[in-house]
């Protein structure tokens, strides 16, 4: 009896499975159209470093493809900026782009990184202005600089000045055989060449030598 029930159960399950598999059999079906992916956009130049701004062109192997791009690090979509002509790269940045074309799926993104290596000018070298005292044994030395907003740092111990040295805030009172060395520092500029003056003798006639970048 048990074997008979098992055979009936198996037969019923097979019939049910056949019905499930045949659901929709004989009905009209539509074939799915497969669209290939569009080729990824190509950059020219491909990326790299330059010492000046450059124009970047983006193209795609599919004629008539619309290219979308970003420069803020985000992934490009059809809502991103549409490429219509050469992109001027004046600062270091990465461009990402995708191509969208009729009869194709949107391409995989491509990217190119550009580094603009600029030449940062140096601040002007400080200028000494010496006013001897009446007894000629001491003097007041004023420092100035033509670079807007420049801060001047100086030393009187023979060591090269840095941004950790004394900040100039007013005329420096010196005695005989005093040597002052100074640099100027300003935003957007490298540290100036070092100016050097001694009193007495060459005061007011500073000589210069290379100074390092701002600390």
Tell me the pLDDT band of 51, cut-offs 50, 70 and 90: confident
Tell me what pLDDT residue 111 has.
Answer: 95
Cβ proximity of 140 and 203 under 8 Å: no
- Number of helices and strands in the chain (H, E): 1, 16
In a domain? residue 192: yes
Tell me what pLDDT residue 29 has.
Answer: 55
Quick check: 206 pLDDT over 60? no
Which of 58, 84, 116 is at the close of a domain?
A: 116
Indicate the pTM of the whole model.
0.46
Which residue would you say has higher pLDDT here, 174 or 134?
Answer: 174
What's the CATH number where 101 sits? Answer: 2.60.40
My answer on whether 64 and 132 are in the same domain is no
My answer on whether 68 and 135 are in the same domain is no
Range with top average pLDDT, 129-143, 170-184, 193-207? 170-184
Quick check: 187 pLDDT over 90? no
Tell me what pLDDT residue 65 has.
Answer: 97
My answer on whether 91 and 137 are in the same domain is no
Which of 91, 116, 141 is at the close of a domain?
A: 116
Number of structural domains (the chain) is: 2
What is the overall mean pLDDT for the chain? 80
Q: Residue 202, exposed/middle/buried by CB under 10 A (0-12, 13-18, 19+)?
A: middle
Q: Tell me the per-residue pLDDT of 155-172, one tens digit each, with 9 for 90 and over.
A: 988 899 999 999 999 998
pLDDT mean over 102-131:
88
Tell me the pLDDT band of 135, cut-offs 50, 70 and 90: low
Q: Tell me the per-residue pLDDT of 6-39, one tens digit each, with 9 for 90 and over.
A: 444 434 443 333 334 344 445 555 567 889 999 9
Which of 97, 116, 135 is at the close of a domain?
A: 116
Q: Tell me the per-residue pLDDT of 83-92, one tens digit each, with 9 for 90 and over.
A: 999 999 887 8
Cβ proximity of 38 and 104 under 8 Å: yes
The domain containing residue 108 runs over which residues?
42-116
In a domain? residue 13: no
Tell me the pLDDT band of 199, cut-offs 50, 70 and 90: confident
Q: Could you check whether the bond before residue 45 is cis, i.e. omega within 30 degrees of 0?
A: yes
Q: Tell me the per-residue pLDDT of 139-160, one tens digit each, with 9 for 90 and over.
A: 788 999 999 899 999 998 889 9
Q: Residue 9, exposed/middle/buried by CB under 10 A (0-12, 13-18, 19+)?
A: exposed
For residue 211, give both structure tokens.
């100074």
Select from 89, 109, 91 the least CA-distant residue to 100.
109
Quick check: 208 pLDDT over 50? no
């Amino acid at each position: 009896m048990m074997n008979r029930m098992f055979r009936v159960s198996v037969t019923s399950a097979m019939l049910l499975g056949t019905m499930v598999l045949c659901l929709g059999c004989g009905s009209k079906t539509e074939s799915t159209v497969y669209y290939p992916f569009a080729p990824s956009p190509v950059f020219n130049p491909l990326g790299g470093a330059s010492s000046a701004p450059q124009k970047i062109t983006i193209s795609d192997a599919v004629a008539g493809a619309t290219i979308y791009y970003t420069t803020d690090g985000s992934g490009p979509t059809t809502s991103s900026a549409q490429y219509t002509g050469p992109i001027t790269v004046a600062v270091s940045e990465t461009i990402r782009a995708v191509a969208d074309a009729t009869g194709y799926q949107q391409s995989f993104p491509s990217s190119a990184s550009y580094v603009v290596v600029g030449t940062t000018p140096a601040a002007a070298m400080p200028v000494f202005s010496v006013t001897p005292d009446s007894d000629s044994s001491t003097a007041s030395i004023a420092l100035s600089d033509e670079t807007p907003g420049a801060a001047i740092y100086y030393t009187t111990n023979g060591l090269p000045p840095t941004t950790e040295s004394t900040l100039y805030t007013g005329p420096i009172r010196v005695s005989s055989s005093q040597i002052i060395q100074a640099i100027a520092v300003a935003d957007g500029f490298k540290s100036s060449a070092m100016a050097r003056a001694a009193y007495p003798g060459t005061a007011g006639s500073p000589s210069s030598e290379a100074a390092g970048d701002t600390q």
